[in-house]
Homo-oligomer: A and B are copies of this chain.
Amino acid sequence: MEPKSPKSDLPTLEDVARAAGVSTATVSRTLNSPDQVSEGTRSRVMATVRALRYSPNFGARALAAKRTNTYGAVIPTMENAIFARGLEAFQKVLVANGATMLVASSSYDPAIEEDQIRTMVARGADGILLIGTQRDPEIYDFLKERHIPVVIAWTGTGVTALSCVGFDNEDAAGKLAAKAIGLGHRRIAFISAYTRNNDRARDRVAGVRHALATAGLDPCDMPLLETKYSIQCGRDAFVELMHARPRPTLVMCGNDVLAAGAVRAAHELGLDVPADVSITGFDDIELATVISPALTTVHVPHRKMGGLAAEALLAQVRDNSAPKQTTLETHIVVRQSLAPPGSRTNEMAD
């Protein structure tokens, strides 16, 4: 072993202080609360800072200030457009406020997620963004014990002591189902993401069932398939559901990705969408607009959610403000994939 990491020879606060002919305290103040320093010294110090290309040492700063200005985000995966969007917005707000983002993904695995959360804490995250409420309660105690503010996104229900910014998955899915029922659909099938560790997915199923019951239909009659998050899986599930006789007139999907797979499968089976079978999605990602027919789906304000989550977290950390629950509105986006059952219209849709 030799020079190792000669990260040394970098100027320190003291170097700057000496060069500028002031104390380290003054340099520190100049950097952190400029208005406590007189115009003259301030500019002199700043000049020296630039001249020496000084940059504060992160560890030292964190140690002394007990704050890292770093926030963690633990999400299922970045490869899902809805989280990518949310994260991007989360990060932008953070940066706009001089903070930085740590990211970890859990692959929807609760054990990994817990690990990642602990890692975030160990890495000195000042606050943490989590997706959904579904996890071992112990982890919440852990976070509380360490006074780490948390904001939960993508779910707006069932959260009390924590900040959250989300929407009502159940209600949104229910409204879409109600609309379809109003159109005349009775035989409705559902393709869902795995509900085991996913409260959002579960809520969406529940919403549809509720709508069914409200319409006097038996929710238990609804064929339901759970599967992984991928186009291919949506495709396979759709094929399987189409074996039922009589066939469903509508296949609702827990998200747009599954719905895209369903649409493809329909084409492969020689079925016209929506003439032979209607399909709906959820999320309203770009994908929904690109396939044909374009998906009727539920629009979820992912970016807004990410941005608000960051603001909520920052408020808790910087202003020590209380946790706040925010519920955002969703709305149904009507496109071509949903039509009344058995409606073989000609393809001149708008």
Contact = CB atoms under 8 A, between A and B. Distances in A.
Given A88-B77, A104-B101, A67 B292 contact: no
Interface of A: 4-7, 10, 53, 55-64, 66-70, 77-79, 81, 84-85, 87-88, 91-92, 95, 100-105, 116, 118-124, 142, 145-147, 231, 260, 264, 267, 286-287, 289-292, 317, 320
Q: What is the total number of copies of this protein in its complex?
A: 2
Contacts of A260: 290
Contacts of A289: 231
Contacts of A4: 320
A69 B123 CA distance: 9
B100 A101 contact: no
Given A78-B88, A85-B79, A119-B100, A5 B290 contact: no
Q: A-B pairs with the 3 shortest C-beta distances?
A: A59-B62, A58-B124, A59-B63
Nearest to A98: B119
B62 A58 contact: yes
Contacts of A5: 66-67, 147, 317, 320
Contacts of A146: 7, 10, 55
Given A10-B146, A92-B105, 18 more contacts: A4-B320, A5-B320, A53-B145, A55-B118, A55-B146, A58-B122, A59-B62, A62-B63, A69-B123, A78-B78, A78-B84, A84-B84, A95-B119, A100-B102, A101-B102, A102-B102, A102-B103, A231-B289
Contacts of A91: 78, 103-105
Contacts of A105: 88, 91-92
18 contacts: A5-B66, A5-B320, A7-B66, A53-B142, A53-B145, A55-B122, A55-B146, A56-B122, A57-B124, A59-B63, A59-B64, A59-B124, A68-B123, A88-B105, A91-B103, A91-B104, A101-B103, A267-B292
